[in-house]
Amino acid sequence: MSLYLRFLEDHRRRGKETISSGDLAALGGTTSAQVRKDLSFFGSFGTRGLGYSVAALSHRIREILGLEREWRVIIIGAGKIGAALAQYRGFAERGFHVIGVYDVDRAQIGKSLNGLVIQDESAMDADIARLKPDIALIAVPAEAAQALLDRVAKAGVRGVLNFAPTPLHAPEGVKLRSVDMALELEILTYALVGSQH
Amino acid sequence: MSLYLRFLEDHRRRGKETISSGDLAALGGTTSAQVRKDLSFFGSFGTRGLGYSVAALSHRIREILGLEREWRVIIIGAGKIGAALAQYRGFAERGFHVIGVYDVDRAQIGKSLNGLVIQDESAMDADIARLKPDIALIAVPAEAAQALLDRVAKAGVRGVLNFAPTPLHAPEGVKLRSVDMALELEILTYALVGSQH
DNA sequence: TATATCTTGTGAAATCATTCACAAGCATCC
DNA sequence: GGATGCTTGTGAATGATTTCACAAGATATA
Ligand SMILES: NC(=O)c1ccc[n+]([C@@H]2O[C@H](COP(=O)([O-])OP(=O)(O)OC[C@H]3O[C@@H](n4cnc5c(N)ncnc54)[C@H](O)[C@@H]3O)[C@@H](O)[C@H]2O)c1
Ligand SMILES: NC(=O)c1ccc[n+]([C@@H]2O[C@H](COP(=O)([O-])OP(=O)(O)OC[C@H]3O[C@@H](n4cnc5c(N)ncnc54)[C@H](O)[C@@H]3O)[C@@H](O)[C@H]2O)c1
């Protein structure tokens, strides 16, 4: 679904007003029947003979994904990757607003990233209670990740995106996803060794 | 498979020598039968009544994934995310060696990241021909991504990991994967809006 | 050695996902 | 308005994956 949204935005930029399931399939590397099945799960909003209205379908998918509202995000760990994420414009463009960045390192605390001051992580629990962020990004060393996940979960955060390359266990009621870049590379190498027999 | 490897390493750190399919399943959130089917696809290396040897299974999976050799990696775009990736220790730990970083920005070229000097991207094609990197990480603005993918593919790179949030089309014979962090957040929000009816 | 207890490896069954195929709907053109 | 050309939405067929269920191998214990 998120991918379809990317394709639709791409298509809109090219000035097209409608798109057929076949076009979407070609972009996504699937079949037109697949695309239609996926979309029909949420209702039917295409026009026969014409395809889907790019604007209408985008809007509907944004609704389904919950992107019609703004989301508050905090970042834990202001190291190399945390700092990059804090300054990433792509988040705000899609409705994700970074409202806080935390670290334990005295040398980091107080520094400003894009107008956002790095806070002492001891202030985090109180801030979460007050500002009620929806999602936390965990960008700390692997050893510290599970403890922080438990801590933000307890404080009331319901979604977590983890960047530490370690298996984590999410407490009940918390949605967890992990981005593991070394793992992505491993999937690539598997494909590479596989393709040369 | 890569995930199983993570679990095994985790388990080894805890001092365990064997692990059962049930344990692996619990870690991965699947069933024991699933794990056994996955592993049996590549042969049978468990011991009945005991489980799998953590060391032997790790080794076998590393073999299957092609991690028993070293891989050469270049990074294109030395911006915020490119710089973070260039300094990331986790890659070298898993056998991925960054041998070059490229940018167009005069202000960036010549700077050193962890002992790695940022090169002018006009030198890139010659370097690829000479050093034969296996994988390129693309960390440039979305508009520039497709052109660079085509360019490194032509120069002989066979695997690409893309960080730009845009749909790319890989030329024949090139394995492409993309990491899209805003998309990861969208998947989280979908789960969040879904779970509250 | 005999017995009890685990856990793998794997056919068979059940479930889930994709593809096929086509009636029905809409737009366009004559 | 009627014929023509596209494209959707969706049952039915096919294909893939997951789960079930259990025989057979391995260890441990006495
Ligand atoms: N650098 C990358 O490109 C990259 C890529 C993929 C994954 N990662 C992972 O992301 C994590 C961070 O990587 P990095 O390169 O930014 O490391 P880093 O050392 O630059 O930054 C880690 C930061 O976390 C802070 N920290 C440690 N414990 C903390 C706590 N309890 N609360 C708050 N802050 C705490 C540290 O003070 C430090 O500033 C690691 O797990 C790493 O494996 C990094
Ligand atoms: N910053 C993040 O945390 C983050 C997160 C996810 C995705 N991304 C994506 O990663 C990409 C880079 O993001 P960033 O934040 O590092 O941006 P950035 O502006 O800091 O860095 C981009 C760099 O690419 C260089 N560049 C541009 N064209 C180039 C070319 N043809 N060849 C070589 N280098 C070129 C620029 O000079 C610049 O240094 C973007 O597509 C962004 O959407 C960034």
CATH of the domain at A28: 1.10.10.10
Q: Is residue B197 part of a domain?
A: no
Tell which of A10, A41, A64 closes a domain. A64
Chain B CB contacts of A67 under 8 Å are 186, 189
For the segment B21-30, the average pLDDT, to the nearest whole number, is 94
Domains of chain A: total: 2
Chain B neighbors of A65, CB-CB under 8 A:
186, 189-190, 193
Q: Which ligand is nearest to the CA of B142?
A: 2
Residue B190 within a domain: no
Encode pLDDT of B77-108 as tens digits: 999 999 999 999 999 999 999 999 999 999 99
Q: Please tell me whether residues A154 and A107 are part of one structural domain.
A: yes
**Cα B19 to Cα B50: distance, rounded to the nearest angstrom:** 8
Do B82 and B166 fall into the same domain? Answer: yes
Q: How confident is the model at residue A195 (pLDDT cuts 50, 70, 90)?
A: confident
> Closest residue by Cα to the C1' atom of nucleotide D24?
B48
The reply to whether B131 and B160 lie within a common domain is yes
On whether both A108 and A53 belong to a single domain, the answer is no
State the distance from the centre of ligand 1 to the C-alpha of A68, rounded, in angstroms: 31
Helix axes A32-40, A21-28, angle to 10 degrees: 110
B33 touches strand D (CB under 7 A): yes
- Taking CB atoms and an 8 Å limit, are B90 and A181 in contact across chains? yes
Check if residue A51 sits with its Cβ under 7 angstroms from strand D.
yes
Is residue A168 domain-shared with residue A89, that is, in the same domain?
Answer: yes
Domain assignment present for A166: yes
Q: Are B101 and B121 contained in the same domain? A: yes
How confident is the model over B161-166, as a mean pLDDT?
96
- pLDDT of residue A51 exceeding 90, the answer is yes
Residue B131: pLDDT band by 50, 70, 90 thresholds? very high
Classify residue A102: in a domain, yes or no.
yes
Question: Nearest-CA neighbor of B180 among B138, B146, B143?
Answer: B138
Per the structure, the complete domain to which residue A45 belongs is given by: 2-64
User: In B38-195, where do the E strands start and end?
Assistant: 46-47, 51-53, 71-76, 96-103, 112-113, 116-120, 135-138, 159-162, 175-178
Question: Residue B194: is its pLDDT beyond 90?
Answer: no
Are A76 and A173 found together in one domain? yes
Statement to judge: residues B7 and B91 lie in one domain: no
Q: Give the CATH number of the domain where residue B139 resides.
A: 3.40.50.720
Last-in-domain residue among B36, B64, B92: B64
Q: What is the pTM of this model?
A: 0.95
**End of a domain among A44, A64, A84?**
A64
- Same domain, yes or no, for A106 and A172? yes
- Same domain as A91, residue A9: no
Which string of b and e fits B122-150 if b means at least 16 CB within 10 Å? eebeebbeeeebbbbbbbbeeebbbebbe
Shared domain for B79 and B52, answered yes or no, is no
The alpha-carbon gap from A178 to the nearest alpha carbon of chain B, in Å, equals: 8
A104 & A16 share domain: no
With respect to residue A11, please indicate whether it lies within any of the assigned structural domains: yes
The conformation of residue B79, written as its DSSP 8-state character, comes to S
